[in-house]
Structure 1
């Protein structure tokens, strides 16, 4: 096993939560430090505070992945007399790199909103607010018969051929390829300047657009020709939807009062705010981590009986109640579920890559509010 640098840690994160999923203008990515340095221990946290950095120092972590960006608002200067300046200085002096995965981690499959939906035991979940669709494309490549299996295995291993619950999906047909190698060529089949006819196989397979680079690279690596003949087409099939929030069915219907107690217990909050009749029967719920009050109508149109989100203002709560959807507001801080969830996910991915690095979740709460 080898010790990774920061670029490789980001690479693990990008495997399921790429920056391309982030909302426009979201200040994600490197916040301070450097990515070319070796990383021995990574700490995951909701927020980067003075206490969290002290915890990282104590635990020997030299890389922090935060959900909320340290530099959420642009700085005109780094004044070491300000709280932000002092925090950046402490990170730099202790060789701690800070990296943020915000809305890209919200949107990602297996990200914050899936973690929240799973904690609330929601079933048959769907994206609440679509922000991006990963469209399907089709690869058509012509391969000599002798290398057809090798190319087929390479492209499916790179992510092609996944259709629902089926994998390694391809279609092949036989034909004859004709070509004349040029004077500067080094042909696998035939001779320079002489027309050649070769028994070839046409392999077809679909893949998600986000996998295009990997699929083409794998195909070219396995293909014996100097210049493989291939085509890429956009498919009309619905692609993979990504977005904010999740909506799903409860495993068993219950009253709003009982569901509110489930939210309190599963998300670890001492109190929450709720609108609607406590005896209302809840069959379907929507959840969106952080501040999602503006999407209550989307939750209503998705068939949710109740919408779980944070930072709901007075008038929005009134409007939602009038629209017939209940609100449960457990606060913004429930997104801290990402700490253990992300640390576990990255641990598995690092082991698969044989990287020698430890991932730990911050044990501190960064909830600014106290309940009395």
Structure 2
């Protein structure tokens, strides 16, 4: 039986908590890590209608992008929507987990998914929030198991440099050891000094997968006790941050790009800021509300910033600095539902993952027929 903690561990690999903004309300908000999680539903928002949908489908765990509990409750009143939601979740033993800004920032998260919808995959981070720490992992292994250890590195996600995998540096040497009482050596016998031809294998490991890499290496290593060292590196790894920026393969006019955004994000309407014939080559995207990042988008060379909830005065400021804006709404972040469901299915094929079919867009658009 899959437990909530198992899904939480999978989510930590997809969107590590360390990426989240300080003070963001993420993680398990209702329920127990030890509760069952055989049926999991992914949603953008936690509304009462979404919870009713979860109850109808006998869901064990809801994974949401927008936090249900953002400000501390002063009371749980069953006559209020949040009170009713809380009661329903607890009555039906449904746990609730939230991945918010960590899912925005993570590789393959909300902003990458939004860029992919536009056909843009060669992207850079728009607003850098942190850089990945790198370590050098050194393991001593007999020559007979060199390939097994190298594959263990790769399976964990270590040893990747640019577009190259299985990157290691190997030095030949002689390892010595004398088994003591109680030892069960792979090579040698008790109280006799052994000399074994070994490799010292070095590889590069990002901090987030360091422990996982060591554990997989131990499983592949033949020795009862694996000898290894870990060295922090001054070289910084990949940058993480909010939003993405990329160049179009061919420039297009602002109005043409707005039509592409409308179709790609499947929105009934949108608004844009700037002249219709403005030439667009570099596109920046921030899911949700990206109003405060217009200066950063301009600094990074963006011709247009695609984001939701654009304020009136922000639009004027953007015009003044020569930055176009396209506002398809906050709800475009719903792209995370299918994207996250697919990632989780690959990691946990035995779990039944579904997406909420209930639309949580609060706005109704009046259009001319």
TM-score in same-fold range (> 0.5): yes
1:371 to 336, 354, 365: 365
The equivalent residue for 1:165 is 163
Map residues 263-302 of structure 1 onto 2, 5 A cutoff: 263-302=261-300
The equivalent residue for 2:43 is 45
Map residues 222-233 of structure 1 onto 2, 5 A cutoff: 222-233=220-231
More displaced 10-residue stretch of structure 1: 65-74 or 34-43:
34-43
More displaced 10-residue stretch of structure 1: 65-74 or 233-242:
233-242
| Contact 1:121-1:251 at 8 Å conserved across structures | no
Residue deviations 1:188-214 (CA, integer Å, cap 9, x gap): 556666655433221111121111101
Map residues 11-26 of structure 1 onto 2, 5 A cutoff: 11-26=9-24
Deviation at 1:120, TM superposition (A): 1.6
The equivalent residue for 1:69 is 67
Compared with structure 1, are the counterparts of its residues 60 and 148 closer, same or farther at alpha carbon in structure 2 (3 Å cutoff)?
Answer: same
The equivalent residue for 1:246 is 244
Unaligned 5+ residue runs, structure 1?
none
Deviation at 1:140, TM superposition (A): 1.5
CA distance in structure 2 between the aligned counterparts of 1:90 and 1:366, rounded to whole angstroms:
18
1:214 to 2:212 alignment: yes
1:149 to 2:140 alignment: no
Deviation at 1:308, TM superposition (A): 0.5
CA distance in structure 2 between the aligned counterparts of 1:123 and 1:345, rounded to whole angstroms:
17
CA distance in structure 2 between the aligned counterparts of 1:177 and 1:368, rounded to whole angstroms:
67
Q: TM-score, normalised by structure 1?
A: 0.91
More displaced 10-residue stretch of structure 1: 14-23 or 229-238:
229-238
Deviation at 1:178, TM superposition (A): 4.0
CA distance in structure 2 between the aligned counterparts of 1:197 and 1:358, rounded to whole angstroms:
52
CA distance in structure 2 between the aligned counterparts of 1:286 and 1:23, rounded to whole angstroms:
20
Unaligned 5+ residue runs, structure 2?
none
1:320 to 2:314 alignment: no
| Contact 1:123-1:251 at 8 Å conserved across structures | no
CA distance in structure 1 between the aligned counterparts of 2:176 and 2:9, rounded to whole angstroms:
41
Alignment coverage as a number of residue pairs: 366
Q: Give the 3-state SS of the residue equivalent to 1:235 in structure 2.
A: strand
The equivalent residue for 2:103 is 105
CA distance in structure 2 between the aligned counterparts of 1:257 and 1:152, rounded to whole angstroms:
51
Compared with structure 1, are the counterparts of its residues 86 and 214 closer, same or farther at alpha carbon in structure 2 (3 Å cutoff)?
Answer: same
1:333 to 2:331 alignment: yes
CA distance in structure 2 between the aligned counterparts of 1:150 and 1:261, rounded to whole angstroms:
51
CA distance in structure 2 between the aligned counterparts of 1:265 and 1:282, rounded to whole angstroms:
18
Compared with structure 1, are the counterparts of its residues 5 and 184 closer, same or farther at alpha carbon in structure 2 (3 Å cutoff)?
Answer: closer
Deviation at 1:263, TM superposition (A): 1.3
Deviation at 1:270, TM superposition (A): 2.1
The equivalent residue for 1:303 is 301
Compared with structure 1, are the counterparts of its residues 300 and 84 closer, same or farther at alpha carbon in structure 2 (3 Å cutoff)?
Answer: same
CA distance in structure 2 between the aligned counterparts of 1:281 and 1:123, rounded to whole angstroms:
21
The equivalent residue for 1:138 is 136
CA distance in structure 2 between the aligned counterparts of 1:10 and 1:198, rounded to whole angstroms:
42
Q: Give the 3-state SS of the residue equivalent to 2:129 in structure 1.
A: strand
Residue deviations 1:291-318 (CA, integer Å, cap 9, x gap): 1111111111221100011122222221
Map residues 183-202 of structure 1 onto 2, 5 A cutoff: 188-189=186-187, 196-202=194-200
